[in-house]
Amino acid sequence: MPTLESIGIKGFKSIRDVEVELRDINVLIGANGSGKSNFLEVFSFLQAIHVEGAFTHISTDYLKQYVVRAGGAEKLLHFGSKVTDQMEIRICFRNSIDRYRITLLPRDSDDGFGISMEVTPSFRLWREPPLEATSPSHATQANAESISSEFAEIDADPRRLLASWRMYHFHDTSRSAPIKKTANLHDNRYLRADGSNLAAFLYLLRERHEHSYMFMRNTVRLVAPFFDDFVLEPAALNEDTIRLEWKHVGTDAYFDVSSLSDGTLRFIALATLLQQPRELRPSVILLDEPELGMHPYAITMLASMVKSASVDTQVILATQSPRLLDYFEPEDVLVADRVDGATEFTPLDSSKLAIWLEDYSIGELWEMNDIGGRPAPERLPHRR
């Protein structure tokens, strides 16, 4: 299955202009505010401007909602339109000649973008005139049919890959967190970004993918030896809903998900995500600081799960944990630094670190400030 070879980003938030080569595992490190989360958010932004079919038509309403939630187009452009007059995102796939490029120009109303797209499949160039992101009527039926016909000749894999990128945040484990609430039993096509359908998804795994379910359950037991199994049954008074419950070792009593520690609950969500069957797994998994609140042994298990999943799923994660960093190869690491007001990403090179790695781990070198990714003074760009 094709994976992302590189992504180019120009003019998005703290990112002025970068071209980043991607591997099966990509670990972003850097100081707070260095731009790691902005890099991950680019993928969410791309999903806001395409619908399944790899940009075959524009989801203008969804894009407008995204822009409004972000505070307007000015907030998404690198230092606003006075510094950055347009945004550009370029995508290349490994072992594929298909190239995708999107250019976005802010509207005067600040509530959306005009969009221009280019795709070069089989060395043919397809162009679509700019569309207003807030005016669905601009995308006529004839135009949509023409676009669909053009893309019918393109390999389906890139379209499916783009549609299945998933960004995950399991940070919210508060009393009112979506992951702790009752879920729709039938909401199980994929694990949602906040884990709000975790119970429904686990029910699907137990009923249809028993081997994966048992493997994941046994992994959880390694981190939480008191845990016996999940109790996954539709609600008695409403069989279309389900709530996550679990059973303690040595007792038949059921416990609500609120009885789990925050770190344990996050680990369960991550184990479910990374150990689900290959056919259900996203093509690209994006994780922002997945180690939050975890015991060192749980971090060890997290690294192991990431490596296993990366055999057939690309993983991009941002971390602040030197311990988690220690489990990966130097070439897996991208160091984010702010230089003159803009985010830059530098891949590590094991040959340049060979002498240091004889005595220190990557995490230790990061803490010693020998590989970058630490807070540093910077100059701001001049406005036009």
pLDDT computed for residue 128 by the predictor = 44
Under 8 Å between Cβ of 303 and 327? yes
Of 2-11, 20-29, 200-209, 325-334, least confident by mean pLDDT is 2-11
pLDDT(153) > 50: no
Instruction: Judge residue 163's burial from the number of C-beta atoms within 10 Å of its C-beta, 0-12 exposed, 13-18 middle, 19 or more buried.
Output: middle
pLDDT tens readout for residues 100-125: 888 888 877 766 677 666 766 543 33
Within a domain: 383: no
Tens digit of each residue's pLDDT (9 = 90 or more) over 69-106:
888 888 999 998 889 999 999 998 887 766 788 888 88
**Domain contains 224:** yes
Q: What phi and psi values does residue 245 have, to the nearest 5 degrees?
A: -130, 165
In the block, residue with structure tokens 């220690």: 326
Same domain, 197 and 224: yes
Q: Give yes or no for residue 209 having a pLDDT over 70.
A: yes
The answer to whether 193 touches 133, Cβ cutoff 8 Å, is: no
Q: Which two three-digit tokens encode residue 210?
A: 């028993």
Task: Say yes or no to pLDDT of 54 above 50.
Answer: no
The sheet that has 113-119: what strands, in order across it? 15-21, 4-12, 87-93, 99-106, 113-119, 126-132
Mean pLDDT for 134-138 is: 41
CB 185 within 8 A of CB 29: no
pLDDT at 149: 41
The domain in which residue 328 lies consists of: 4-164+304-367
Quick check: 357 and 326 in contact, CB under 8 A? no
**pLDDT exceeds cutoff 50 at 56:** no
Residues 333 and 233 in one domain: no
Decide if pLDDT at 374 tops 50.
yes
Q: Tens digit of pLDDT for each residue in 294-318?
A: 999 999 999 999 999 999 999 999 9
- Cα 269 to Cα 251: distance, rounded to the nearest angstrom: 24
- The answer to whether residues 21 and 143 belong to one domain is yes
**16 and 155 assigned to the same domain:** yes
Query: Do 276 and 204 sit in the same domain of this protein?
Result: yes
Give the Cα separation of 311 and 41 in Å (integer). 24
Residue type, 274: L
> How far apart are alpha carbons 92 and 4 in whole angstroms?
6
What is the arithmetic mean of pLDDT over 277-296? 96
| Number of separate domains in the chain | 2
Judgement on whether residues 23 and 149 belong to the same structural domain of the protein: yes
**CATH at 347:** 3.40.50
